């Protein structure tokens, strides 16, 4: 499965590179460190998303270290790597949007040994764009909800399927979850939204090809 995922990822990122402004075209994925501007933004964005998925697992009562697809190993949150695959598109489309709208500046990046990373201004610009994307309302599983809430919804759906296998969810199940999340964490989210990730996943630990 990971072999097929790798082939799909290469085709996917080659297609994205082809629509980038010529200055910012890139040769596939690169991590720790990124080799180009696109991957520097993508890696940091995935770090933000990783933290959001980890939080979603914990709130839903899921053990983030026990995965289904990615192998379990010491200090590796395999379930987070499993679940994040569904939501990487939120980061991808945000980064592509910044490039397509010519919103990227040279001062967003700083040199690292054998690569490059984001400067303070680059991180701030990306987080602002991600927050805007996460606050948009989308149609998801027949409901109009904020993009950020889809992560928590899926974590709860996975937890429920493990506790009550084969049992149908009530029609208002997902909405109840979101209502509770808004009550418990809404005030904090309004002030902070997504922030600098507490830690970024180690690419050496991630068996995914994206």
Q: What is the domain partition of the chain in residue ranges?
A: 2-192
Residue 142 pLDDT: 83
Angle of helix 88-100 versus helix 2-19 axis, rounded to 10: 20
Residue 188 pLDDT: 46
Residue 128 pLDDT: 98
Residue 170 pLDDT: 64
Residue 210 pLDDT: 47
Nearest-angstrom CA–CA distance, 150 and 163: 20
Maximum C-alpha span of the chain: 53
Residues of the chain with pLDDT under 70: 1-2, 69-75, 167-210
Residue 160 pLDDT: 87
Q: What is the pTM of this model?
A: 0.82
The CA–CA distances, whole Å, from 46 to 28, 42, 90, 121, 177 equal: 16, 6, 9, 18, 25
> Residue 89: CB partners within 8 Å, gap ≥ 6?
none
CATH number for the segment(s) 2-192: 1.20.120.920
Q: Is 164 exposed, middle or buried (0-12, 13-18, 19+ CB in 10 A)?
A: exposed
């Amino acid at each position: 499965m990971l072999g097929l995922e790798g082939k799909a990822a290469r085709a996917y990122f080659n297609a994205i590179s082809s629509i980038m402004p010529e200055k910012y075209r890139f040769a596939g994925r690169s991590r720790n460190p990124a080799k180009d501007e696109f991957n520097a933004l993508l890696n940091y964005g995935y770090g933000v998303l990783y933290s959001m998925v980890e939080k979603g697992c914990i709130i839903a009562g899921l053990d983030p270290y026990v995965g289904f697809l990615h192998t379990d190993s010491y200090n590796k949150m395999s379930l987070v790597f499993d679940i994040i695959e569904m939501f990487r598109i939120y980061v991808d489309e945000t980064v592509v949007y910044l490039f397509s709208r010519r919103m990227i500046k040279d001062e967003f990046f700083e040199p690292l040994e054998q690569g490059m990373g984001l400067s303070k201004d680059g991180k701030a610009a990306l987080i602002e764009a991600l927050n805007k994307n996460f606050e948009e309302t989308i149609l998801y599983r027949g409901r109009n909800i904020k993009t950020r809430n889809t992560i928590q919804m899926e974590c709860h759906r996975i937890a429920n399927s493990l506790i009550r296998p084969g049992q149908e969810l009530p029609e208002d199940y997902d909405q109840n979850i979101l209502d509770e999340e808004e009550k418990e964490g809404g005030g904090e989210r309004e002030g902070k939204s997504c922030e600098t990730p507490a830690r970024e996943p180690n690419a050496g630990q991630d068996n995914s090809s994206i």
